[in-house]
């Protein structure tokens, strides 16, 4: 983790320019590289396998040999976190994709459909938004049974209504904009206006939202796993790691604290990237 915080070498000659550098962006990019590496080639970073047990060294606190300590079966927590990255990141990206696809479709229907469609989709969105998303996810898991796919769907569907409302607002705003009116006055067809102006302008903010949503989804999925509703231990998915460490929280706090910190770091990384992407896209308009 130390790699994430290390900023590029600083030149002391121009302190003002250095202060203006987006250090948080650089840190987030570095962290993204580390997370990507861990997800794609975990063996490059891990010191052991995810399930290598060492019963002589159970519940060891973090040390030079075991950076994040060991669990009740003597498994190296650092290696388990690395090996769990793919599952957690995959769930995050998958859930964000499900959520935003659904949101784009529902939001577009609510904003652009005929009177009956927009009214019924709008109503559905209001109800779904009012319904606690966690409860919605729990319901899905209860029906479909816990698995990675269920987790992705549950989190994706649970978070979709909020984004769908955002999409709807964006589209309605673009639809009433003076530039769409100008296109009508030019005699362009409805389809052309939709394609050229309304959809690009209203869906573009979703690029940034996607990055923001990955972090949020991972936190969600982890909480479901922590409740024992996602991926079951001993799988090294981060939420499951939290769940597995729970019985030892008083004697081996690092088993819950470290995976928790990693989840927060990843969420922070994607949110930082998302925010920079957002302001970059907005600046692109100028």
Out of 55, 186, 250, 251, the residue judged to bind other proteins by CB under 8 A: 186
CA 52, distance to chain mean position in Å, is 29
Binding part of the chain for other proteins, among 47-55, 132-140, 145-153, 181-189 by CB under 8 A, reads 181-189
Nearest CA-CA partner of 51 in 76, 68, 88, 87: 76
Beta carbons within 8 Å of 178's beta carbon, 6+ residues apart: none
Evaluate whether 266 touches 35 at the Cβ level (below 8 Å): yes
CB-based contact 121:110 (threshold 8 Å): yes
Q: How far is the CB of 177 from other proteins (least distance, A)?
A: 7
**Among 229, 95, 223, 227, residue whose Cα is nearest residue 152:** 95
Q: Which C-beta is closer to other proteins: that of 132 or that of 178?
A: 178
- Containing 277, the helix (H) or strand (E) segment is helix 254-284
Find the binding residues for other proteins in span 91-110 (CB under 8 A): none
Note whether 36 binds other proteins by CB under 8 A: no
Q: Which CB atom, from 15 or from 61, has the smaller least distance to other proteins?
A: 15
CB of 176 to other proteins, least distance (A): 11
Give the distance from CA 183 to its chain's centroid. 37
Q: Is 183 in the site for other proteins (CB under 8 A)?
A: yes
Q: Which of 32, 101, 196, 271 binds other proteins (CB under 8 A)?
A: 196
Rounded least distance, CB 21 to other proteins, Å: 14
3-state secondary structure of 76: strand
Name the minimum Å distance from CB 285 to other proteins.
4
Q: Which of 130, 185, 191, 250 binds other proteins (CB under 8 A)?
A: 185
Backbone angles phi, psi at 70, to 5 degrees: -125, 165
Please identify, among the stretches 45-53, 186-194, 232-240, 261-269, the one whose residues bind other proteins according to the rule CB under 8 A: 186-194
Q: How far is the CB of 100 from other proteins (least distance, A)?
A: 20
Alpha-carbon distances of 94 from 91, 151, 163, 185, 278, rounded to whole Å: 5, 9, 15, 42, 21
Q: How many Å apart are CA 225 and CA 197, to the nearest integer?
A: 42
Binding test (CB under 8 A) with other proteins, winner from 127, 135, 184, 264: 184
Piece of the chain touching other proteins by CB under 8 A; list 82-90, 130-138, 183-191, 228-236:
183-191
10: contact with other proteins by CB under 8 A: no
Contacts with other proteins by CB under 8 A lie at: 20, 177-179, 181-190, 196-197, 200-201, 204, 284-286
């Amino acid at each position: 983790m130390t790699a994430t915080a290390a900023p590029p070498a600083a030149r002391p000659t121009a302190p003002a320019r250095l202060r203006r550098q987006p250090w948080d962006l650089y840190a987030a990019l570095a962290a993204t590289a580390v997370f990507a590496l861990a997800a794609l080639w975990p063996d490059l970073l891990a010191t052991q396998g995810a399930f290598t047990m060492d019963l002589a060294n159970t519940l060891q606190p973090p040390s030079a040999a075991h950076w994040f300590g060991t669990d009740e079966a003597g498994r190296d927590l650092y290696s388990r976190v690395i090996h769990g990255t793919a599952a957690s990141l995959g769930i995050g990206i998958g859930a964000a994709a499900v959520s935003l696809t659904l949101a784009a479709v529902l939001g577009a229907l609510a904003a652009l459909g005929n009177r009956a469609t927009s009214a019924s989709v709008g109503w559905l969105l209001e109800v779904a938004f009012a319904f606690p998303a966690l409860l919605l996810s729990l319901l899905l898991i209860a029906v479909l049974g816990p698995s990675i796919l269920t987790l992705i769907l549950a989190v994706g569907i649970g978070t979709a209504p909020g984004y769908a409302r955002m999409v709807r607002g964006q589209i309605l705003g673009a639809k009433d904009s003076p530039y769409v009116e100008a296109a009508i006055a030019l005699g362009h067809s409805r389809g052309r206006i939709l394609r050229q102006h309304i959809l690009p302008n209203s869906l573009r903010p979703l690029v940034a939202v996607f990055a923001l949503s990955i972090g949020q989804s991972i936190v969600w999925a982890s909480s479901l796993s922590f409740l024992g509703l996602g991926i079951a231990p001993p799988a090294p998915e981060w939420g499951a790691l939290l769940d597995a460490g729970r019985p030892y929280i008083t004697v081996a706090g690092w088993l819950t604290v470290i995976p928790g910190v990693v989840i927060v770091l990843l969420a922070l990384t994607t949110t930082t990237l998302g925010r920079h992407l957002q302001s970059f896209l907005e600046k692109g308009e100028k």
